């Protein structure tokens, strides 16, 4: 062969294509509290609560966290007939409707006396095959 069989427009080594596995929020959504107030709460450890939501498969852990997100983020609303699932960021989690990874979320919440606390909440998977994610989340938290 005196000529190349491959055209010049086609590269010899194909470029690496990056696959996207998760959906990420680019801009921070608006909240009912000031973000500066939230960062100030991070300085006082006595006002920080680390909590893991642990339970069986399809018992409403992610749905409960979605209720918290709807209360603290008025701009985010559920679509008609579709679950919100704010903490399910992987595409496979969204397609299957099952949490696979433990996902943290930080919100400011008040108690009955209007005292504000910084809540670091871990949404954990409920399937028994992902118990390692649950174990890691429990190690980080103060309570279950």
Per DSSP, 144 falls in state -
Global pTM reads 0.74
> Binning pLDDT at 50, 70 and 90, where does residue 121 land?
very high
Mean pLDDT of 6-29: 79
- What is the spatial distance between Cα 22 and Cα 31, in angstroms, rounded to a whole number? 23
- What is the spatial distance between Cα 72 and Cα 74, in angstroms, rounded to a whole number? 6
CATH fold label, 35-140: Rossmann fold (3.40.50)
Mean pLDDT of 109-133: 94
Top-ranked range on mean pLDDT: pick from 25-29, 71-75, 138-142: 138-142
- What is the spatial distance between Cα 90 and Cα 68, in angstroms, rounded to a whole number? 20
> Binning pLDDT at 50, 70 and 90, where does residue 8 land?
confident
> Could you tell me the residue ranges of all domains in the chain?
35-140
Contact call for residues 65 and 123 (beta carbons, < 8 A): yes
Rounded alpha-carbon distances, angstroms, from residue 68 to 7, 40, 42, 62, 77: 57, 21, 19, 10, 12
- What is the spatial distance between Cα 66 and Cα 137, in angstroms, rounded to a whole number? 18
- Nearest residue to 65 via CA among 132, 121, 13, 1: 121
Q: What does the pLDDT read at residue 79?
A: 67
| Residue 132 reports pLDDT greater than 70 | yes
pLDDT digits (tens, 9 = 90+) for 57-100: 989 898 899 889 888 888 777 666 666 788 888 888 888 888 99
């Amino acid at each position: 062969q005196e000529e190349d069989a491959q055209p010049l427009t086609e590269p010899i080594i194909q470029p690496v294509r990056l696959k996207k596995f998760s959906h990420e929020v680019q801009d921070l959504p608006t909240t009912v509290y000031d973000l500066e107030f939230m960062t100030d709460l991070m300085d006082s450890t006595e006002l920080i609560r680390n909590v893991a939501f642990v339970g069986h498969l399809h018992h409403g852990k992610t749905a409960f966290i979605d209720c918290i997100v709807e209360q603290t983020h008025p701009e985010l609303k559920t679509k008609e007939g579709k679950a919100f699932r704010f903490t399910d960021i992987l595409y496979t989690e969204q397609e299957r409707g099952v949490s696979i990874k433990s996902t943290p979320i930080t919100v400011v919440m008040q108690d009955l006396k209007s005292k504000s606390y910084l809540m670091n909440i871990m949404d954990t998977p409920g399937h028994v095959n992902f118990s390692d994610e649950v174990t890691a989340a429990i190690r980080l938290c103060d309570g279950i």
